[in-house]
Structure 1
């Protein structure tokens, strides 16, 4: 196995000062790439002082964009992604790689509970993500959004076109691997408090929360989300029809019952179309990247 360790970093000078020496002591002969995503501090200089390869974006493109840059530049057959803020322990990399060698194409370092989350709000949001994703794939997913993971490089490169440039790349890549039928494993980890200031914006990322909810569905099986909604709308239309008929004594459709039933049919057809488009999206995944 030939792993490459990729660290996306934006203004992570303080975190990298503690992380890189530990990482180099454990993996002195392993390719380590730090992608400097338009930092305004000395992130790049810290990497050069430690003798670590650094790739700098001329401006901030997002965490997902940094991940994609690192994946394209890496030469290893296994990519290990970890944060540069000191939350992920270098000693846990070996555990991810051990799990990977059992035959998994993607291994995620799963945070175990509230103590391992950045805040109560983040823990609550991630719990909703995990429950929804687990229902979608019919398998327990303990941590959908962890950025600490080991993955087959060729397979990961095949999904680069799906990955967003923002912070939701872990969600997208995990669901894509499930959808393509690859083996996804989880290893429990304990995280440390981050060094430095978080890049989370509550207004922006609150909107992102709802967008990710829909993305989870559309990435795996849209019809599994649309169908219950269509049945609910149609059922409400039938109930409205029965109640209006009993109240008026004449059995005829009201405008509301007609609207609800038609809305249910339209939502179902939208889900059916989305399901077909999703199938096409995964049809020609190229597995032969160098």
Structure 2
């Protein structure tokens, strides 16, 4: 299937590693022009080099902090100056701080909301003037905890839920401009954090053995791969999903308790 991504210009935050990096590689393979964004410039340079070796294409990057409004503006300005337009914004920057409510300081709430919610807002505000010129797609990465928060998941599950509400609201507000807004809710996907957990809990097991441990209670029987997440994300921002907006798709192997 032709996803219609050739020559589309995409900005991906949090893309020096993990799902963001894999999505950048896949969009590049599909012919998109991708700008990687993260705070760590060395990590960005390594990601750009890895993707170049894989695809033969040279990518652009911006070292920036999306919690700062001026940095968000700098990112979008770079995209337009480099490629002349913007078609896709993927908000992937984020972290997971989860604790019992009584143990969470007010500063923890502020830091989490600054990155997950206000980071999205800064990027969307900066991107809108360009996206409104020809339409486009915004994709927000959140977690299944945003739909069904477990115990001891403050503040991350609360900020994730706020992001889902923002996604749905924006899908209505921006539809007249042909700007689609969707989200994906990530479950257990192989990442540096999961691999560290594997080495701490069961270093004697292979990754395949660990990923299929029944304790994870995943109906599909295994932890997912970053490529599997990137496949869904790439579809949602592509022309192939031109009639999809305002939805939040679980990428969790069936473990989510809510649609």
- Please give the range of the TM-score, normalised by the shorter of the 2 chains: 0.3 to 0.5
In the superposition, the TM-score normalised over structure 2's length comes to 0.36
